[in-house]
Protein backbone atom coordinates (compact mmCIF):
# COMPACT_ATOMS: atom_id res chain seq x y z
CA UNK A 1 0.00 0.00 0.00
CA UNK A 2 1.51 3.37 -0.98
CA UNK A 3 2.27 5.92 1.73
CA UNK A 4 0.67 9.32 1.34
CA UNK A 5 2.05 11.07 4.43
CA UNK A 6 5.12 12.66 2.83
CA UNK A 7 5.80 15.88 0.92
CA UNK A 8 8.59 17.08 -1.35
CA UNK A 9 9.69 19.78 1.11
CA UNK A 10 10.92 19.42 4.67
CA UNK A 11 9.44 21.48 7.48
CA UNK A 12 12.40 23.85 7.04
CA UNK A 13 11.33 24.39 3.43
CA UNK A 14 7.71 24.93 4.40
CA UNK A 15 8.65 27.49 7.06
CA UNK A 16 10.89 29.30 4.57
CA UNK A 17 8.03 29.50 2.05
CA UNK A 18 5.62 30.74 4.73
CA UNK A 19 8.03 33.48 5.84
CA UNK A 20 8.69 34.51 2.24
CA UNK A 21 4.94 34.83 1.67
CA UNK A 22 4.33 36.80 4.85
CA UNK A 23 7.41 38.38 6.47
CA UNK A 24 5.27 39.62 9.37
CA UNK A 25 3.72 36.22 10.13
CA UNK A 26 3.48 35.11 13.74
CA UNK A 27 5.00 31.77 14.66
CA UNK A 28 1.49 30.59 15.53
CA UNK A 29 0.30 31.33 12.00
CA UNK A 30 3.34 29.65 10.42
CA UNK A 31 2.82 26.61 12.66
CA UNK A 32 -0.81 26.36 11.58
CA UNK A 33 0.11 26.70 7.89
CA UNK A 34 2.89 24.09 8.07
CA UNK A 35 1.11 21.73 10.47
CA UNK A 36 3.75 21.71 13.20
CA UNK A 37 4.06 23.18 16.69
CA UNK A 38 5.04 26.77 17.44
CA UNK A 39 8.12 25.45 19.23
CA UNK A 40 9.17 23.57 16.09
CA UNK A 41 8.74 26.77 14.04
CA UNK A 42 10.86 28.69 16.55
CA UNK A 43 13.64 26.10 16.26
CA UNK A 44 13.48 26.07 12.48
CA UNK A 45 13.58 29.88 12.35
CA UNK A 46 16.59 29.79 14.67
CA UNK A 47 18.29 27.32 12.28
CA UNK A 48 17.49 29.48 9.24
CA UNK A 49 18.78 32.62 10.97
CA UNK A 50 21.91 30.89 12.31
CA UNK A 51 22.87 29.63 8.85
CA UNK A 52 22.21 32.96 7.14
CA UNK A 53 19.08 32.04 5.18
CA UNK A 54 16.73 34.41 7.03
CA UNK A 55 17.19 37.66 8.93
CA UNK A 56 14.95 38.39 11.90
CA UNK A 57 14.21 41.96 12.95
CA UNK A 58 12.25 43.06 15.99
CA UNK A 59 9.55 45.58 15.02
CA UNK A 60 7.67 46.71 18.10
CA UNK A 61 6.42 43.58 19.80
CA UNK A 62 6.55 41.49 16.63
CA UNK A 63 9.24 40.01 14.42
CA UNK A 64 9.74 40.64 10.73
CA UNK A 65 11.58 38.09 8.64
CA UNK A 66 13.58 38.56 5.45
CA UNK A 67 14.64 35.65 3.30
CA UNK A 68 18.20 36.15 2.07
CA UNK A 69 17.40 35.68 -1.60
CA UNK A 70 20.99 35.23 -2.76
CA UNK A 71 21.63 32.29 -0.42
CA UNK A 72 21.98 28.89 -2.03
CA UNK A 73 20.48 25.55 -1.07
CA UNK A 74 22.69 23.44 1.17
CA UNK A 75 22.59 20.09 -0.62
CA UNK A 76 24.94 19.49 -3.56
CA UNK A 77 22.04 18.49 -5.83
CA UNK A 78 20.36 21.89 -5.42
CA UNK A 79 23.34 24.09 -4.54
CA UNK A 80 23.02 26.07 -7.77
CA UNK A 81 19.54 27.27 -6.82
CA UNK A 82 19.10 30.46 -4.81
CA UNK A 83 16.41 30.87 -2.19
CA UNK A 84 15.08 33.83 -4.17
CA UNK A 85 14.56 31.71 -7.30
CA UNK A 86 12.96 28.96 -5.21
CA UNK A 87 10.46 31.16 -3.35
CA UNK A 88 9.63 33.02 -6.57
CA UNK A 89 8.83 29.71 -8.24
CA UNK A 90 6.73 28.44 -5.35
CA UNK A 91 4.89 31.74 -4.90
CA UNK A 92 4.19 32.13 -8.64
CA UNK A 93 1.43 29.56 -8.38
CA UNK A 94 -1.60 30.10 -6.15
CA UNK A 95 -2.45 27.28 -3.79
CA UNK A 96 -5.03 24.95 -5.33
CA UNK A 97 -6.65 21.75 -4.27
CA UNK A 98 -6.95 18.94 -6.80
CA UNK A 99 -9.95 16.70 -6.42
Ordered by start, the domain boundaries in the chain are 11-91
User: What residues contact 58, with CB distance under 8 A and at least 6 apart?
Assistant: 64
pLDDT at 99: 46
Task: Select the more confidently predicted residue: 84 or 91.
Answer: 84
pLDDT grade for 92, boundaries at 50, 70 and 90? confident
Arithmetic mean of pLDDT, 17-39? 97
Q: How far apart are CA 57 and CA 24, in angstroms?
A: 10
pLDDT at 97: 53
CATH topology for the 11-91 domain: Arc Repressor Mutant, subunit A (1.10.10)
Amino acid sequence: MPRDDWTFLSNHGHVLVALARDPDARTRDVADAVGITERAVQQIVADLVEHGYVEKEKVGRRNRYRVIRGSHFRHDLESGVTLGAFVDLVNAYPATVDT
